[in-house]
Amino acid sequence: MIEKLLKYDYDKIFDLMAASFPSDEYRTYDEQKALLDNPFYQVYVLKDSDNNSIKAFIAVWEFEDFAFIEHFTVNPEYRNGGIGAKILKEMVGLLGKTICLEVEPPEDELSARRIGFYQRNGFFLNPYPYVQPSISKGKNAISLIVMTSGRAVSEEEFESYKKVLYAKVYKCD
């Protein structure tokens, strides 16, 4: 179903990323593209077999003890058809380890629906304070909530994951 991103499809996923996420939640075009050479980072896509357009993509950082979904979106033309749930299930099986992701606090209907989607798909909210550091120069840090697959994690596990994310993903301590 999903396949690894081919570099020539990068522009399509960046356009979808820019349309789907607040600007503080993704890097510049060149910074994001440079991640494709990072051994911890991989983007998977679901393509429309009829026209080769991108139906959805999921960008994952895979570390020794856990994986981190940095970006996941379904093209608006294909939403509400179960594609997101299928991709998430496939990724959980493919990675075979705890997966964490960041979500915005449920301060509006869309954020609450997003959290509900992840909960219906086996993810749990973690009650620990978390701030996503600035992802790029000129971008703001953001207060978010970390969700994890399978179960909520202990505070010790959470701090361990956060330390890796800050060092490897956000390049800060």
* pLDDT (tens digit per residue) in 53-111: 899 999 999 999 999 999 999 999 999 899 999 999 999 999 999 999 999 999 999 99
How much is the pLDDT for 84?
96
How much is the pLDDT for 173?
66
Question: From 3.50.50.60, 3.40.630.30, 3.40.630.10, 3.20.20.100, which CATH number describes the 3-169 domain?
Answer: 3.40.630.30
Chain center to CA of 17: 11
* Residue type, position 134, single letter: S
What's the average model confidence in pLDDT over 33-46? 97
Which residues lie closer than 8 Å to 70 by C-beta, 6 or more apart?
Answer: 41, 59, 60, 61, 101, 169
